[in-house]
Amino acid sequence: MEDAIGEVLNQLIEKQFPQEKMMLILVKEKIKGYDIELTKSQERNMILHLQKHGLEGLDRFTFEPNRHQKAILKKSGREDLVIKLDFQQSDLDAFQNKISDVVSHLSIDTTEWLSDKLNKAWIKQSKSILKKIKSERHQFADIHNKIWGKALDLLDALVRVCMQNTK
């Protein structure tokens, strides 16, 4: 069941987080090392750049820090105030592992949550289900007795007579 839930979660992630958004998250992680955050405008520009050039365009993407970001960079001793993003395979692998961990934990949590919900729903419905089963049993017994009742009563009487005579 976890595999099915994991697959559903993967599809949701792909739908909700296209490659451009995932790469934006990766870039934001990368620039945390510079102690700066992207502005909404910088995020939009990057997504547009990636939509236009694809993931290969990430190598060519640079952004000009605003005044606040430049001050942070200057304070940290960086002479070049233009940030060129340099991604290694290890960055991509670490990011992929993070995503896999999140999906794995989500599928486990979702399975537990779903199991709990199903259990509660079954308990809630169990009274009506059991009532229906008892009603069906009584209906079956009534039909059974109408058809076979006399014959079974005579058979039961014969068995008892035979049992008493053998003692």
Residue-wise pLDDT tens digits, 61-88: 777 788 888 888 788 777 564 555 666 6
Predicted TM-score of the model (pTM) = 0.46
Tell me, what's the pLDDT at 109? 80
**C-alpha–C-alpha distance, residues 166 and 84, integer Å:** 103
Q: According to the model, what pLDDT value does residue 84 have?
A: 57
How long, in residues, is the chain?
A: 167
pLDDT at 150: 94
Written as one string, the DSSP assignment of 85-116 is ----HHHHHHHHHHHHHHHHHHHHHHHHHHHH
Please give the structure tokens belonging to residue 34: 């510079």
Output the six-digit token pair for 98.
Answer: 């993070």
Please list the pLDDT of the chain residue by residue as tens digits (167 residues): 556 766 776 777 777 667 777 777 877 877 777 788 888 988 888 888 878 887 676 666 777 788 888 888 788 777 564 555 666 677 777 777 777 777 677 777 878 888 899 999 999 899 899 999 999 999 999 999 999 999 999 999 999 999 887 76
125: three-class secondary structure by DSSP: helix
pLDDT at residue 68 in the model:
86
Residue 105 token pair: 């934990």
Please tell me the distance from the alpha carbon of residue 107 to that of residue 118, in angstroms, as a whole number. Answer: 16
Q: What is the pLDDT of residue 5?
A: 67
Specify the pLDDT at position 107: 72
Q: CA of 14: how far to CAs of 34, 45, 133, in Å?
A: 29, 21, 45
In angstroms, the CA 126 to CA 25 distance is 46
DSSP of 145-160: HHHHHHHHHHHHHHHH
Name which of 94, 97, 115 is nearest 33 in CA terms: 94
